Structure 1
Amino acid sequence: MFQFNVTSDACVKCGKCIPVCTIHEVNRDEVTSPRGFLDLLNAYQRGDLELDKNAKNIFESCFLCTNCTDVCPNDLPVDMVIEQVRNDIRKKFGLAWYKKLAFFLLRNRNIMDVLARFGYMFQTCGFKMVEKQKSMYLRNFPIIKMDRLFPSLAKKTFLNSHPDVIHNGGKGKVGIFIGCLANYMYTDIGKALLEILKELQIDAYLIKQQKCCGAPQYFTGDFDSVDFLAKFNIEYIEGFKDELDAIIIPEATCSAMIKADYVHFFHDQPEWQSRAKAIAPHIFMATEYLEKKTNLAEILASKARKSEVVTYHDPCHARKMQGVWREPRNLISQNYTIKEMSDPNRCCGFGGVTMQTEKYRFAKAAGLPKAAMIKETGAEYVSAECSACRMQLGDAMHGQKVDVIFKNPIELIAKALREG
């Protein structure tokens, strides 16, 4: 059952969505534009459109960047209806084997931990390591069939590298929901967050039973997996949310999924929707919490100012979905010079699992303008509180030979504290 009954009549054809649409920028076809999606969605809801392979191809071409909903005068939730249509697509066509495998592993962390360990040991056999970006380069990847950069696996996961509770003085207590990419690959993000909490004397609870937030599955249409993961995480968070000041997440997509998308997902399960709404006020992006709820900005201001320049990219799931964009800039600017890109709010083009595999050509095309913008700033670092953006922009910069290092804002903040 669809949450929204979107009609093409509700669209006033103002055209505001077209210039900001990520897929339309790289595939200038009215069909793959917000208005085109809307007309097809309306036809599907009326029963006038069959979900054949052509329709599947079209509905899987949206990046779900929410740019169209952000500027729409009628707030038409085109992205959310596409997510629901993708569930119908999955039911009819199934999932590719590699998606099934990935989603199975994300549901079963113990197995994933073992395979990640083996992956770390043998990744140098098939990949060329790019140490500066903490990534690995592979030519002619069999699924994507293109050269590209992937994040390298860590020797040990973040959650398995630290005790359950780290006592730092008791001036506060926060839980850390780390996210899969930061747990298995970009582990320096979690380490940096622990450094910051130690400086603030805030106790850290790693809440180690956490499972994948379910965002990759949600955007792909695997609603069965989302239902399982969301219910587990909600029930898990309910068990300790009142004992902690907050659950902080250094990942925009994970935070948006738990804080906002769980509520949308459970539109037809009132009890679980109510429970999702109840935990939402306890969820914060890491920079959001640190800037609003602690004196970190003052501490950073007392440290030495650096000559290094940082440019900041706004993840779609941070600025548009959660209104978080000032907070990381305010913290970073205490010690670094921020030079803005010509369009920091433009989607980097990650777009989810399908976009990164079967439609990689679109992801690559969407990443090129961002890589050019980053280069134009002359910055030493590009930052975003999202590891999906990091993966996408790292690949785009590598392909364009843009020699800029990507750091999560949490890493830059910890660096300033460490070297100040």
Structure 2
Amino acid sequence: MASYLNEENIEGIALRCLDEVGYQVYKSASYTSPNAEIDAERNNDHTQPILKGQLENALRKLNPGFNDEVYRNAIHQFEMLADSPDMMLNNHKLHELIIGGAKVKTSIKGEDRTITLYPIDFKNVDNNTFVATNQFTMKQGEHERRPDITLFINGLPLVTFELKNPANANVGIQQAFTQFSTYKEEISSYMQYNEILIISDGINARAGSLTAGIDRFMRWREPKNVDIDDSMMELEVLIKYMLTPSDLLNIIQNFILFESDGDKTIKILAAYHQYYMVNKAVKRTSKVLADPDDKRIGVVWHTTGSGKSLSMVFYSGIVARKLGNPTILVINDRNDLDDQLFGTFAAAHEYLQQNPDHAESRGEVRKYMSKNSGGIVFSTI
């Protein structure tokens, strides 16, 4: 296959797959120019990474009934983000706006109010606009770059592909990854909106976050017990099982988190096995809560280094948000494991929207569990 594929062919394959899974695809007229319709949406302003018309339409549709100034204020927040020269601070703010909405002060019937406008409907995928385009030209200062493929949700450029020629033995996913480093330096105004990065050379395909090293860019596989055609490229599998509109919304809402040590921000994207396992565990938990006669949720087995601690964080966060904020008890059989896992949960307090607590005795465990107010409690056997 690699003998006749080139970078332009791979773009075409990716765009075809994206069209098949539900994206509106705007293909450029040539390999070296952007799509004219997409350019028109931003008034041919190549310094503008957002499709503002689509963003405004989404804000009005999902949050109806407010005056024009409210919507302009919300759009301005998405344009400014954290108003920082630090790309990751801006990216963190973007994620906060996507998940928590833009807070806008206004007056309603003479009363000062703060309202929240959401840019994406995570409950109803059909209420959103999913667009894919190639060769999206971006200018920043003296630099001009054209990322290979960009995916927009309601006008926000949230996914970027960098593709390399499989017929060239001197380039591959390492060079695609390096290209993203260039983009971060030269068109950070575009990259600060990114939620997921995709690299592929037509043979290999990997997904990662803005702060991930190449060793943390991971292959995305099909779900267990799903048979796929052996001829499917890794890139096709990734698009079909990671980037469908419903899967992409699920990942952005539930499987991305940020950690900070005060000096550096780290963005974490779940791996495919974490995504499938946690979704299954949440589904099973929901079923058990609805059936008082069946309390068996199941057992998870993952190998050492597979990210079990983060899987627990993702599970706890989703359960807290979707199942009425129950009290979650985490029991370890060793103090060192307890300290390690507690530290992981504490670092993810923003994602969890709460800080974990520690029970030092059975009496304290009983006290925590007797409260009907949620919480995440750690203890040892």
- For normalisation by structure 2, the TM-score amounts to 0.28
Question: By percentage of residues, which structure has more strand?
Answer: 2
Rg larger in 1 or in 2? 2
- Larger fraction in helix: 1
TM-score (norm. length: structure 1): 0.26
- Which structure exhibits the higher relative contact order, with contacts defined as CA atoms closer than 8 Å and separated by 6 or more residues? 1
